[in-house]
Every structure is written in C-alpha cells, then in structure tokens.
C-alpha cells in the first residue's frame, strides 16, 4: 500500500514537471487510465490553454495524459500517424481534435474497433463511432463574427476572410455560418476567402494582398493564428480602425491589439473548459457511463466595452489556483 501511494505521488510530481508532454513511459502508472490527447498543432495559445485544462482534469481524475500534435495544422498524415501510434500503444482512450474531417475518420474508426473510445475535441470527424464531441457551435460562431462585422460597417462594404485549413470541419462550419449571415445583406461584398494553414506569416501576406487588391473595408479571421497574422499586417500597414477587424480567440497579442484599436472585436471560445471536459468525458466513457452526443461550450464576443468585466476576465486569462 505504501509503495502504491509513493508511486502515485511520484507520477503526479512527474506530470507537474513535464506538463504531460507525452514523454512519460506507458508503464509509469500501472492501473491508471491512459488518455492520448491529439490536437491540431503543438503551438499557439489556444492549444496551450486546451492542454492546461486537460492537465487539471488528468490530475483530478487520476489519468496519465499524453499530449501530442504535429508542428503544423495542415500535417494531416502526421496526425493520422499519431492516432495509429496511440492504438499500437493500446492507450485507454483518445481525445482527437481532427485537422481534417474525412481523412481522420478512418483512424477514429480503427481506434473504436480496437476498443479505444474516441472523444472529438473542437472539430468533428467522419466517424459514427465517436463517443461525444466537446466544443463550440462553430456555425453559430461564424454567424456571430459576421454579425459584428455587418454592424461595424453599417451594412455596406467590402470584406475578406482569412481562414485556416480547408477541409477541417470546424473551419467549414464557421465559414458556412459566416457566409449564410452575410448573404442577408446585399450591401456587404465578400471579395475573397484565403487559407493560412494556421501560419502567421502566410496569414499576414494573405491579408496584405487582399487589402491591396480589393481595397477592403473589413477582415474576418477564423482562428487564433490567422487572427494574429492578419492583425499584425493591419497594424504594420497603418490601417488600424480604417480596416475593421473581427478576429477569433483571445491570445495575449490579440487582446493587446484590441486595446490598441487594431482589432475591433474578437470571438472567444473556452479552450480551458474544452480540454478539461474532453478528459472528463473520456473517463466517463471508460467507466461505461453514457455520455452526451454533444457537449457545447459557449462563445462570446469581446470588445473594448466588455473586456474588463470580471466574468470575461476569467475567460480571457484562465489560470489554475
């Protein structure tokens, strides 16, 4: 008994030191549930915050968490290989934020066939075997950013969209919501949709070209990396406030640019809760408990008026006591 307690304490200390980096050996905590969380890429404030929430849940539910992701969001083959590796290691459950709806479907099916529950995080995947999906209503989120842009432009103007990876289910849903809303306003012209591949430099160059080519009045971005790249370019061009910018997510840089008037509004998700809930529901599925088909986490539009409200500060700057 003393040896078992000592092993558990040592494992918890190890997790705290490594940040659940994925380097822990499978045999470290015998009898403890092992969950692989495979997300779209291993950088960016959004995924760091998802990881933070997952780590808190892992400690609370006595889980050995392995966090893995490719360097780039468009490395779909790399993500598939990570799922395959998790299956070979016989992990107990997989939390998957799929970079491509169709391409990751077969990998998710294979995991389920091997008795490994799959929890879909953030983006849906083409598998009927997924236990539940955790994340925002992306269609509604697309409508919200479009609604704010229409309001900023007074119903008239030319806009561009800087998206991320074409084929990702969350991207397609956000874009569909956006375009459906914009279609209601004949005075708003959607001039171009560009794809950054979640690369800040590419997002910047797309933004610069769009502005010069179309003389845009506004730009909407659809994920955190595209938002940072586009906002930097608008600032560098000296067009802050002239070209209206509605972004996605709440990196420290985006919040700073919101305060500076470069960004007019940003739609925030709840990545900390998403990470926490994904691990929690993976544990429930492993226990054989029924989990809901969908766990929808809220989004909220943040601007200079409401960013300092206490309830919004908690979501903008999550931390663990």
Work out the pLDDT band at 318, boundaries 50, 70, 90: low
Residue linked to tokens 């008239």: 156
* Per-residue pLDDT, 31: 61
* Poorest-pLDDT segment among 25-29, 97-101, 220-224, 310-314: 25-29
* Tokens, residue 84: 């395959």
* Per-residue pLDDT, 17: 33
pLDDT digits (tens, 9 = 90+) for 232-268: 999 999 999 999 999 999 888 999 999 999 999 999 9
pLDDT higher than 60, residue 9 = no
Mean pLDDT of the residues in the chain: 89
Work out the pLDDT band at 111, boundaries 50, 70, 90: very high
* Per-residue pLDDT, 233: 97
pLDDT higher than 80, residue 319 = no
pLDDT digits (tens, 9 = 90+) for 58-106: 999 999 999 999 999 999 999 999 999 999 999 999 999 999 999 999 9
Work out the pLDDT band at 295, boundaries 50, 70, 90: very high
* Per-residue pLDDT, 105: 96
* Per-residue pLDDT, 213: 97
- Residue that wins the pLDDT comparison between 316 and 274: 274
* Per-residue pLDDT, 24: 41
* Per-residue pLDDT, 3: 39
pLDDT digits (tens, 9 = 90+) for 202-238: 999 999 999 999 999 999 999 999 999 999 999 999 9
Average pLDDT over residues 6-19: 38
* Poorest-pLDDT segment among 100-104, 172-176, 271-275, 313-317: 313-317
């Amino acid at each position: 008994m003393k040896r078992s307690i000592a092993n558990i304490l040592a494992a918890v200390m190890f997790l705290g030191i490594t940040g659940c980096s994925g380097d822990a050996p499978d045999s470290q905590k015998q009898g403890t549930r092992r969950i692989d969380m495979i997300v779209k890429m291993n950088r960016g404030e959004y995924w760091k915050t998802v990881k933070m929430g997952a780590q808190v849940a892992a400690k609370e539910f006595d889980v050995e968490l392995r966090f893995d992701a490719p360097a780039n969001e468009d490395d779909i083959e790399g993500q598939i290989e990570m799922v395959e590796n998790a299956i070979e290691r016989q992990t107990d459950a997989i939390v998957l934020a799929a970079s491509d709806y169709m391409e990751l479907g077969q990998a998710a099916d294979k995991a389920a066939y091997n008795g490994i529950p799959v929890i879909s995080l953030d983006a849906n995947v083409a598998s009927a075997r997924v236990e539940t999906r955790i994340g925002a209503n992306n269609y509604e989120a697309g409508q919200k950013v479009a609604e704010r842009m229409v309001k900023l432009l007074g119903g008239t103007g030319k806009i561009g969209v800087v998206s991320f990876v074409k084929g990702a289910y969350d991207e397609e849903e956000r874009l569909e919501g956006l375009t459906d809303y914009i279609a209601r306003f004949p005075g708003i012209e959607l001039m171009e949709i560009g794809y950054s591949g979640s690369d800040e430099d590419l997002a910047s160059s797309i933004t610069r070209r769009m502005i010069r080519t179309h003389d845009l009045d506004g730009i909407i971005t659809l994920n955190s990396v595209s938002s940072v790249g586009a906002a930097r370019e608008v600032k560098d061009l000296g067009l802050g406030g002239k070209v209206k910018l509605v972004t996605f997510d709440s990196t420290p840089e985006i919040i700073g640019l919101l305060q500076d008037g470069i960004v007019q509004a940003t739609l925030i998700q709840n990545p900390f809760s998403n990470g926490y809930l994904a691990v929690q529901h993976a544990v429930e599925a492993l226990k054989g408990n029924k989990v809901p088909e969908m766990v929808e986490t809220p989004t909220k539009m943040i601007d200079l008026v409401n960013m300092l409200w206490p309830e919004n500060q908690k979501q903008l700057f999550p931390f663990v006591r």
